[in-house]
Amino acid sequence: MSNENGSDTNNEMTPGTPKEGGSDKILYVLSYPTFGLLGIILFFWKKDDPDARYHGLNSFIYWVAVGIVSTILGIVTGVLPILGCVILPLFSLVTFVYSVYLAMQAHKGEKPVIPYISDMANKYV
């Protein structure tokens, strides 16, 4: 059905428009660069959506692993403070850039695969 301008007035989906769950896709994307906070909320909030649970748990486990590695690097660089000035900021930058990359994959509709971490996330989805 068209209006006088020739545009479609019914609620049918047309190519290029986001599907009904488009807001969920935004949550999947935001779960990665929010340091796992939105991820764990997504995991428990969307219990019936396996994609939401995957992205939520994947991002949460990723940031927990980053925290563990960061703590170990902090201890190691505490012994050698000169290395700490370079290693910790570089590690922080790399982990955040990688989380943005993961978010971009989620935006494309893909399930980002992080070695070991995604395997654990798949077990609990």
Q: Which of 10-14, 37-41, 49-53, 107-111 is predicted with the least confidence, judged by mean pLDDT?
A: 10-14
Structure tokens at 104: 């971009």
pLDDT of 2 higher than 80 = no
DSSP type of residue 10 = S
Q: What is the pLDDT of residue 6?
A: 53
- Taking only the tens place, the pLDDT of each residue in 81-97 is 877 888 889 999 999 99
Contact (CB, 8 A) for 26 and 35 = no
pLDDT of 10 higher than 90 = no
Alpha-helical runs (H) found in 17-116: 22-31, 37-45, 50-79, 81-107
Q: Is 8 helix (H, G, I), strand (E, B) or coil?
A: strand
Contact (CB, 8 A) for 32 and 59 = yes
Segment 13-33 shows an average pLDDT of 68
Q: Among 108, 114, 111, 116, which residue's Cα sits nearest to residue 53? A: 111
